[in-house]
Amino acid sequence: MENSGEDLRALPLHTCHADPLIRFYRFYLTFYTIAILTLFYHHILQLLSSTSVIFFCLYISLFFSNIILAVNGLSQQSLCWYPVHRRTYPERLPNKELPGLDVFICTADPYKEPPMGVVNTALSVMAYDYPVEKLSVYLSDDGGSDLTRIALSEAVEFAKHWLPFCRQNNVYERSPEAYFRSNNNYRSEHVKILYQEMKVKVENQIINKSISKSNLAEHPSVIQVLLKTDHDLDVSGHPLPNVIYVSREKNRIFPHHFKAGALNALLRVSSLMTNAPFILTLDCDMISNDPITPRRAMCFHLDETMAEKLAFVQFPQKFQVNKSDLYGNEFRRLQTNMLGLDGMKSTIYIGTNTFFRRRALMSNMPVVPVPEFANEVVGATYEVNGRTKWGSTVGFRYGSLVEDFFTGYLLHCEGWKSVFCNPKRAAFVGDFPITLDGLMRQAKRWTVGLADVAFSKYCPITFGLKHCSPLLSLAYFHYAFWSIPSIPVIFYGILPQITVVHQIQMFPNIRDPWFWLYFFMFVVSYARDLADFVLAGETAEKWWNDQRMWLVRCVTCWPVGILESFLKKMSYFSSSSSTVGFHVTSKVTQYDSDERYKLGIFDFGTASEKDSPSPYIVSLAVFATMSLVGFTVGTARALKNGKTGDFTLPLLLCGFVVVNSYPIYKAMVFRKDNGRIPWKSVQLAFFITAFIFSFSSCVKL
């Protein structure tokens, strides 16, 4: 046995190998760069040969749009310079070598983030295949709600039955809701009844409104230890992990810094109570799907060759999507890019599913565990007046609505490293908004936060180049400016439609060799994107929905987010208006919305005629309508004038948008359910479309 143990210690805890297609990726980058330079040469020729001021302005706009697309494309391709794949061997880690782990779960509003969802997340991590005496679970309730606290209290009682059941039956799905949804056998009947009883108790608190809705913006601090490892046992006599409920004090007078502030409060409290050397941060809707996930993370953290500078191990976000991933929620491009970032040992922090080394966040903060001081460090005034370095050089960083991206970026600038762990079985599975309007609001918040970084002193092309490698700076540039392609996409969503309707030739004729450069670059770019999906084991249908959602974001939430960030920078919004851009994403699912999603039907989430038209849905309808008008009227006029060859390129662009917009047309005209686009929004879209075409006609004249 001793020899066996020594042999295990001699074996590596993880392996890493380069992607076999790395040469192809580099060849494609070279080819793509040459094609872009050739396209720029063509634009210069156009500018030199322009015959009027209007044409010169149009050509310069086209040139500027393609520069943005080129920079975005090149920065995207740089992420594929050295993609790697990692494999872990958690079975080689003996229990006695596993370090302490503090789990941070964040929730903010019990009416948007249902307590039963929070409970399932907590239970799934409490049941980890990890020594319970080394595991502590902290729940941050930024809403200060009795609903959440009571739900967690009920959950820890149920855990006394659930945890031994998972151990005895080798359960992998350790979220009870997920397990009972897919399993139904006699062995689980008793535990299922207990779970249903707990669920009824929790949900009755909301239904009966027996507890008043708390003031989310102002409430006192509460710290309650619900389970203690050295005191509480489950029904089989085994100890239970520590479970601590934390609600920091919030006061309207003092900034609370949203999720970053909540995480920093947990950092301080946990350092005084358990002070584990490693931390897992989780969103409240992201359940654990694999009980050995912490062991996988420790395969990296306990590797002596990288432990000195390894800040965190990032696991991907996976969601319970339908078979076609209707809204592109899996962000396959992000997961593909993660492999390239991993090759630089600089995977970005995505805000959840992340195992941190505490020292990376609190490197210069000596801590003496004194639980009696815990209430003091979660007070609303603890960080006021620059008395501490929290949020600047210590903990999760303030200054952006995307505290995750910003924190990871600054850690990398400080010299810390990170890795990406993507096992075959998803480590975590979460929920997401299943209405288009809800998704756009969420993406707009990300856009505002990323723009905060892009247009600050921490911009990756200035600050980043000084503190990290050029390739990593380019990667962070890509994400900080992830919404910038909305400018050329809006341009291409308007100009070709106008030119083809008014029969103004601005793009190369089909007989012109330059036509084939445009056509070839478009086809090759999309073919490469499709290949990435297929090679990752996804379907062409998922790829199609993903690229459609990219276009949707380009003409809806991204430009709105850029505008909001610009207005904030120009002090249009008061600096005290701390809620600008920030909205808690609702995880509440309506039955009819859920059914539509399962059937693959778009839910625009704005069917009430009483509500004001959503700017996202109206802009989407405008671009869809303009392309339909451009394609039909433009085709008819080109055929009539015998100039189809002159307008092939803009007609192809219009046709591409029309095909992508099929669900929008159905929702505008044919659907009668609550997920349709309201007639008020349709009318407004028709009016704006008519105005744009009429105005362009006047300019032409």
Q: What is the DSSP letter of 366?
A: -
- Across residues 214-237, what is the average pLDDT? 88
Beta bridge partners of 198: none
Domain boundary among 260, 291, 322: 291
Establish if 188 belongs to a structural domain: yes
Confidence of residue 567 (pLDDT cuts 50, 70, 90): confident
Establish if 427 belongs to a structural domain: no
Domain boundary among 45, 79, 113: 79
Active site residues: 142, 404
**451-496 confidence digits (pLDDT tens):** 999 999 999 999 999 999 999 999 999 999 999 999 999 999 999 9
Establish if 506 belongs to a structural domain: yes
Q: Are 80 and 343 in contact (CB under 8 A)?
A: no
Residue 629, pLDDT score: 97
Confidence of residue 217 (pLDDT cuts 50, 70, 90): confident
Establish if 257 belongs to a structural domain: yes
219 or 312: which leads in pLDDT: 312
Q: 505 exposed, middle or buried (CB, 10 Å; 0-12, 13-18, 19+)?
A: middle
Residue 577, pLDDT score: 44
Q: Are 265 and 140 in contact (CB under 8 A)?
A: yes
Residue 576, pLDDT score: 42
Q: Chain centroid to CA 655: how far?
A: 30
Residue 212, pLDDT score: 52
* 420 phi, psi to nearest 5 deg: -115, 125
DSSP 367-413: ----GGGHHHHTSTTTTGGG-S-BTTTBSSPPSSS-HHHHHHHHHHH
Do 128 and 65 share a structural domain?
A: no
Decide: helix, strand or coil at residue 695. Answer: helix
**117-147 confidence digits (pLDDT tens):** 999 999 999 999 999 999 999 999 998 888 8
Examine the pLDDT at 225 and tell me if it is beyond 50: yes
Question: Does 2 show up as a binding residue in the annotation?
Answer: no
Examine the pLDDT at 601 and tell me if it is beyond 80: yes
What's the longest Cα–Cα distance across the chain?
90
Do 244 and 120 share a structural domain?
A: yes
- b vs e for 424-447, b when ≥16 Cβ sit within 10 Å of the residue's Cβ? eebbbbbbbbbbbbbbbbbbbbbb
Establish if 307 belongs to a structural domain: no
Examine the pLDDT at 610 and tell me if it is beyond 70: no
Q: Are 384 and 304 in contact (CB under 8 A)?
A: no
Establish if 322 belongs to a structural domain: no
Q: Are 656 and 518 in contact (CB under 8 A)?
A: no
Do 278 and 152 share a structural domain?
A: yes
Establish if 689 belongs to a structural domain: yes
Closest listed residue to residue 344, CA positions, set 109, 83, 152 = 83
One-letter amino acid at 142 equals D
Decide: helix, strand or coil at residue 105. Answer: strand
Examine the pLDDT at 54 and tell me if it is beyond 90: no
Question: Does 142 show up as a binding residue in the annotation?
Answer: yes
Token pair for 51: 């015959």
Question: Does 259 show up as a binding residue in the annotation?
Answer: yes
Question: Does 325 show up as a binding residue in the annotation?
Answer: no
Do 509 and 623 share a structural domain?
A: yes
Examine the pLDDT at 607 and tell me if it is beyond 80: no
Residue 655, pLDDT score: 96
Q: What is the DSSP letter of 136?
A: E
- Placement of tokens 């990288």 in the chain: 306
Do 222 and 134 share a structural domain?
A: yes
One-letter amino acid at 472 equals L
Do 651 and 622 share a structural domain?
A: yes
Confidence of residue 432 (pLDDT cuts 50, 70, 90): confident
When the pLDDT of each residue in the chain is averaged and rounded to a whole number, the result is 89
Do 103 and 60 share a structural domain?
A: no
Share of the chain above pLDDT 90, in %: 68
Establish if 65 belongs to a structural domain: yes
- Across residues 97-103, what is the average pLDDT? 96
Examine the pLDDT at 317 and tell me if it is beyond 50: yes
Q: Is the pTM of this model over 0.75?
A: yes
Do 234 and 114 share a structural domain?
A: yes
Share of the chain above pLDDT 70, in %: 91
Closest listed residue to residue 245, CA positions, set 378, 127, 369, 128 = 378
Residue 1, pLDDT score: 41
| Separation of first and last alpha carbons in the chain | 90
Structural domain of residue 58, as residue ranges? Answer: 1-79
Domain boundary among 269, 291, 313: 291
Reduced to 3 DSSP states, what percent helix, strand and coil does the chain have, rounded to the nearest 5? 55, 10, 35
Q: Cα dist. 378→216, 219, 266, 676 in Å?
A: 16, 12, 8, 45
Number of domain units in the chain: 3
Cα–Cα distance, 188 to 78 (Å, whole number): 50
Residue 643, pLDDT score: 87
- Across residues 621-640, what is the average pLDDT? 96
287 or 389: which leads in pLDDT: 287
Beta bridge partners of 584: none
Reduce the secondary structure of 249-290 to three states and give it as a string: CECCCCCCCHHHHHHHHHHHHHHHHCCCCEEEEEECCEEECC
Q: What is the DSSP letter of 460?
A: I
Beta bridge partners of 86: 16
Do 613 and 494 share a structural domain?
A: yes
Do 59 and 108 share a structural domain?
A: no
Residue 215, pLDDT score: 66
Examine the pLDDT at 385 and tell me if it is beyond 90: no
**338-356 confidence digits (pLDDT tens):** 999 999 999 999 999 999 9
Do 108 and 69 share a structural domain?
A: no
Decide: helix, strand or coil at residue 222. Answer: strand
Do 606 and 506 share a structural domain?
A: yes
Q: Indicate the helix (H) or strand (E) that contains 16.
A: strand 14-18
Question: Does 345 show up as a binding residue in the annotation?
Answer: no
- Across residues 46-61, what is the average pLDDT? 88
Confidence of residue 569 (pLDDT cuts 50, 70, 90): confident
